[in-house]
Amino acid sequence: MKETILVVEDEVKIARLVRDYLENAGYRVLTAHRGDEGLALARSERPDLIILDLMLPGLDGLDLCRTVRRDSQVPVIMLTARADEADRLIGLELGADDYIVKPFSPREVVARVRAVLRRARGGEPEPEALRYEDLELDVAGHTAAVAGRPVELTPTEFALLAAMMRAPGRVFSRLQLLDQVQGEAYEGYERTIDAHIKNLRQKIEADPRSPRYIVTVYGVGYKLSA
Ligand code: CA
């Protein structure tokens, strides 16, 4: 299930930009342009993370953060235009998990969201082994096998296959796969994914030209068949 991010930001353009990038990264995004609306959404929708602008109409970011913190441990990332360190410290004291100073790049926001969510899950244990039909990945040991036969995968191939094996049937765009590999997406390199997929198929498919596991979804990307 997609994680839900609530973005509370009164500058509509910024809110939209952040929303687009987060949606591209696979999150469900709710936006509010006023602090009081943000608080209502935080209570009704129980998001997995809140991105909170400091200066907001209705209820300012610090008050919103303080109010949310009374009954929730949801991770909060503060956005602030003020480079004033005192503001950041107050935010962190109120229980914000991180802050980002404007102007920021939307990619930085995505990277921070990912890092904070990972931290919030508290190093949620990765399953030792991922299995799909005859495919097997030992995540801890970094080994792969097809029908019990060991296969040598590069770190990139391993990361791609692991991402798909964690969500069989889910269609990944090239950009999303690239993101799995590099942590940050560079649109210009989307086509390099095709080369990695081709190599992976050579290694894990009985007939790479008619793949059984990694299926091409035309116009979109790839998925592990389910
Ligand atoms: Ca603002």
What range does the domain containing 73 cover?
4-121
In the chain, what percentage of residues exceed pLDDT 70?
Answer: 88
Predicted local distance difference test score (pLDDT) of residue 184: 47
Average predicted confidence (pLDDT) for the chain: 86
Average pLDDT over residues 87-97: 69
CA of 93 to the centre of ligand 1 (A): 20
Predicted local distance difference test score (pLDDT) of residue 10: 96
Predicted local distance difference test score (pLDDT) of residue 179: 73
CA of 101 to the centre of ligand 1 (A): 12
For residues 15 and 109, membership in a common domain is answered with yes
Predicted local distance difference test score (pLDDT) of residue 171: 85
Q: What strands, in cross-sheet order, belong to the sheet with 129-132?
A: 129-132, 135-138, 143-146, 149-151
| pLDDT at residue 189 tops 70 | no
Predicted local distance difference test score (pLDDT) of residue 88: 62
pTM over 0.85, yes/no: no
CA of 11 to the centre of ligand 1 (A): 6
Structure tokens at 130: 């991922």
Residue 172 CB burial class (10 angstroms; 0-12, 13-18, ≥19): buried
Predicted local distance difference test score (pLDDT) of residue 146: 95
Closest CA to 206 of 151, 169, 153: 151
Average pLDDT over residues 54-69: 91
For residues 58 and 91, membership in a common domain is answered with yes
For residues 189 and 116, membership in a common domain is answered with no
CA of 184 to the centre of ligand 1 (A): 27
For residues 116 and 35, membership in a common domain is answered with yes
Please give the residue that has the higher pLDDT: either 95 or 209: 209
Look at 75-84, 109-118, 176-185, 196-205 and tell me which has the smallest mean pLDDT. 176-185
CATH number of the domain residue 219 falls in:
1.10.10.10
Torsion of CA 125, 174, 204, 168, to 10 degrees: 50
For residues 81 and 185, membership in a common domain is answered with no
Average pLDDT over residues 82-103: 71
CA of 60 to the centre of ligand 1 (A): 9
- Looking at 104, 121, 138, the residue that finishes a domain is 121
For residues 186 and 84, membership in a common domain is answered with no
- Looking at 69, 92, 121, the residue that finishes a domain is 121
Predicted local distance difference test score (pLDDT) of residue 209: 93
For residues 77 and 105, membership in a common domain is answered with yes
> First-to-last CA distance in the chain?
16
Average pLDDT over residues 120-138: 79
Look at 41-45, 172-176, 205-209 and tell me which has the smallest mean pLDDT. 172-176
